[in-house]
Amino acid sequence: MRIFLAGAAGAIGRRLVPLLLDAGHRVVGTTRSTTKANALRSAGVEAVVVDVFDAAALSRVVCSARPDIVLHQLTDLPPGLDPALMAEGTLRNARMRREGTRNLVAAALTAGAPRLVTQSIAWMYAPGPQPHGQDDPLDVHAAGTRAVTADGVATLERLTLASPPIDGVVLRYGHLYGPATGADAAEIPSLHVDAAASAALLAIKKARRGIYNIAEPSGYLSTDKARRELGFDPSFRLAASVA
């Protein structure tokens, strides 16, 4: 399949590229950096340099890619989630979820892309009985920073799931750890970055329109749906030779 990978040089994108290419897909991948574009080309990606907030340019590159699937792996967070930069990072990331997703969905619609798989997060459930399933409400009545994040997440997910005729899939990822995340472990719900990448690959083929919790086992949320429908395995790791 022809895949448009928005965020090909990010923490997840980098691990996802070899999985997509190994599976025989053609990958058009985005970055804003010409240096990272050259690295992506060396890895076998048809790299395009574009800023997702430039809606017209984004639409042009998605249309010329003519993708069967658009993968949204865009975030705007500080390296290693540096606490000193997180207040501003939370605002930037919420903007990415609202405006970046809106632009990407508009481009996908214009390009006639039938399917969109989007990165979300799995720790935004409203307080309530655990483990949380995908149908539990988001914490949209939260206060402070959590309210900013909840609003961004709710908007990203609504745009993904309710932009017909696009067949939208949301992957609610746990807190990442592993290569290029700056963390060797993460709080619950946790998720190794390789398992996050593998879930996106599985979703391309197997996911039905809707939401999937993607994380390691914990009492906080249920990942039964992803295991059953996608064959998601939280212990998946890339071969060391890929790193």
Ligand X SMILES: NC(=O)c1ccc[n+]([C@@H]2O[C@H](COP(=O)([O-])OP(=O)(O)OC[C@H]3O[C@@H](n4cnc5c(N)ncnc54)[C@H](OP(=O)(O)O)[C@@H]3O)[C@@H](O)[C@H]2O)c1
Residues that bind ligand X (CB under 6 A): 7, 9-11, 13, 30-33, 36, 51-53, 74-77, 79-81, 96, 121, 173, 175-176, 180-182
83 or 129: CB nearest ligand X: 83
Least separation in angstroms between CB 167 and ligand X: 23
Residue 70 near residue 29, CB atoms below 8 Å: no
Least separation in angstroms between CB 163 and ligand X: 19
Least separation in angstroms between CB 19 and ligand X: 16
* Separation CA 73–CA 16 (nearest Å): 10
Burial 130-161 (b: 16+ CB within 10 A, else e): ebbebebebbeebeeeeebbbbbbbbbbebbb
124 or 161: CB nearest ligand X: 124
Least separation in angstroms between CB 16 and ligand X: 10
Residue in 32, 71, 101 with CA at minimum distance from that of residue 9: 32
107 or 207: CB nearest ligand X: 107
12 or 207: CB nearest ligand X: 12
* Separation CA 229–CA 227 (nearest Å): 6
* Separation CA 211–CA 223 (nearest Å): 11
132 or 175: CB nearest ligand X: 175
Please give the residue whose beta carbon sits closest to ligand X in the complex.
10
Neighbouring CB atoms inside 10 A of 112's CB total: 12
Least separation in angstroms between CB 82 and ligand X: 8
Please spell the DSSP secondary structure of 17-76, one letter per residue.
HHHHHHTT-EEEEEES-HHHHHHHHHTT-EEEE--TT-HHHHHHHHHHH--SEEEE----
* Separation CA 27–CA 200 (nearest Å): 13
DSSP state of 81: G
109 or 180: CB nearest ligand X: 180
Least separation in angstroms between CB 5 and ligand X: 9
